[in-house]
Structure 1
Amino acid sequence: MLFLHGTGASTHSWAPLMPLLQHDIAVTLVDLPGHGLTKISTGQRSSLTYMAQDLLTLCQTLQFQPDFIVGHSAGAALALEMSKSLPLKGVVGLNPALSKFPGLAGVMFPMMAKMMALNPLTPRYLAGLAKSKSRVRQILSGTGSDLAEDQINLYQKLFSDKTHVKGTILMMSQWNLDRLLAQLNTVDTPCLLIASTRDRTVTCADVKATAERMRNTAYHELNGLGHLAHEEDPQKVAELLSAFFKQKRAALSQTSA
């Protein structure tokens, strides 16, 4: 099983969830290109297509073929993109970022990200802002999630790393979901899309609408949690994941019997 975090995060975000998964589940966690401890060889491979290609290359190099991919936020888009090339048993999108920004924001936000990516001083400036713990807390609260102090400390350390910030900006500036969104109704892999009622970045309505467009896709809503639901209530998320894995494995066993 492969876990993919979202934009601006790292594998640390899955830590609360890991001890709660069934012991017979083998898990691989990776920092996305340009995030955390993963470096990028070129600044031109931070798009959805190239990131998915590089993650597939990593799997091949490690001789690792996942049965399931769990993606949070933008990680869900990567999981669906990778599903085109892998015989997966299932994909889970946790608060999946699978919608474009509405109206003018859809034009302005990518443009602003591209301008930021062109300025070599931007990563240093933004990383400097993270020295303020109250500012980091404010950013995380903006997702609709309430995190413990130790979790906030980890994000502060991450946001203070100018290399990580640069990788995040590059990803934002090159991200384009148009082709993936146009092909969602052709995805054959069984999927589970999970939305959180307090998420201020990805709405339940958008996630539900996306699930209804897709084949063989279930939708589940988490009450009272925000965008970082797997860090707020890892037990609840672990139960959902375990049930999905068990269901899909059982279905495949019956099919092959």
Structure 2
Amino acid sequence: MAIYDGKHVHGMHVAHDGPREAPPLVLIHGSGASGSCWGPIMPALAGRYHVIRIDLPGHGQSPPAPSYDVPEQAARLAEALDELGLRAVTVAGHSSGGYIATALAEQRPDLVGSLALISTGPSPDALLPQPVFLRALIEPPLGPLLWRVRSDAMLRRGVTAVCNRPVDVPNDLVADVRGIGYRTFRTVLRHNSAYIAERSVPARLTALDVPVLVIFGAADPRWDPSSAHHYDTVPNARVEQLPDVGHFPMLEAPQTTSELLLHFAATGR
């Protein structure tokens, strides 16, 4: 059973999949993506959970916001979860969505029962030189021009540039990415960098009492794969590295990724 009700809660589009009476599982996408990026693992997750996919402000079907500061986005998400009546849920964030999830746990530990981070770079020094095509697409001077003339093929290449395995990029993800403004995207990247520069994600998690699952592609071209082990210092953290997988485990290895999430959501391990 899937429900896509198009409801906006505190400026964010919320999609519901699976039976409403099932345990809740909240999914947060990364920068330059949308809730559609979780598509390949939704059948497995929605079979056992009430999955709540969030489109962050300025992404997917959510309108722009006055601020893209990570703690402010987390506060907005907390208001949405309050309105939905959720407590102590499993929250999974992909890439920089893991920063929003971590900030949510920092601000409102009552809302987060367990935390899964997928391809979430731990600190600025773990960032690798980005693929040439991706740099051209997002950095001046070519970025603003290419952003205006993006074709579907370019958008798909933007996703596959950080994948290590061949993937089929969902059509709805392509459509959602097309709607993201260049200035919004650059602003989001700047605030994400500021959040982890202020304090690394492992250091933030160490201060929290929450079970953590870290999923990292062993061939991630965006973040140094060995940096996944920075999370080994976090109490109650389990680190899983996926062989031959890049930055999008849910697109590149959907079965393994969904199995890890399902086990973690059920057991906290």
Q: Same fold (TM over 0.5)?
A: yes
**What RMSD over aligned residues (CA atoms) do the two structures have, in Å?**
2.9
Please tell me whether the aligned partners of residues 55 and 62 of structure 2 are also in contact (alpha carbons under 8 angstroms).
Answer: yes
Cα distance in 2 between the residues matched to 1:55 and 1:69: 11
Q: Which runs of 5+ in 2 are unaligned?
A: 1-24, 130-138
Question: Of the candidates 49, 53, 57, which is equivalent to residue 79 of structure 2?
Answer: 57
Give the structure with the larger helix fraction. 1
Query: How many equivalent residue pairs?
Result: 231
Note the alpha carbon deviations across 1:78-97, whole angstroms, 9 max, x for none: 11111121332210111112
TM-score norm. by structure 2 comes to 0.76
1:22-101 equivalences in 2 (<5 Å):
23-42=47-66, 45-84=67-106, 85-87=108-110, 88-101=112-125
1:30-67 CA distances to partner (integer Å, 9 max, x unpaired)? 1111111111341xx10111111111111122323351
- Structure 1: runs of 5+ lacking an equivalent: 106-114, 252-257
Alignment of 1:208-227 (within 5 A): 208-209=229-230, 211-227=231-247
Give identity over the alignment, percent. Answer: 21
Amino acid at match of 1:71: G
Does the 8 A contact of 1:77 with 1:98 survive in 2? no
Change (3 A) 1:152 1:24: closer
Q: Which has the higher strand share?
A: 2
Structure with greater contact order relative to length (CA < 8 Å, sep ≥ 6) = 1
Q: Contact 1:144–1:199 (CA<8 Å) still a contact in 2?
A: yes
Asked which structure has the greater CA Rg, the reply is 1
- Mapping for residues 1-257 of structure 1, pairs under 5 Å: 1-21=25-45, 23-42=47-66, 45-84=67-106, 85-87=108-110, 88-101=112-125, 125-131=145-151, 133=153, 135-149=154-168, 151=169, 153-161=171-179, 163-175=180-192, 176=194, 177-181=196-200, 182-209=203-230, 211-248=231-268
Q: Distance in 1 between matches of 2:225 and 2:181?
A: 29
Q: Which residue of 2 aligns with 1:112?
A: none
Deviations 1:175-227 (A, max 9, x none): 21234424332121110111111210122211111x12211111111112111
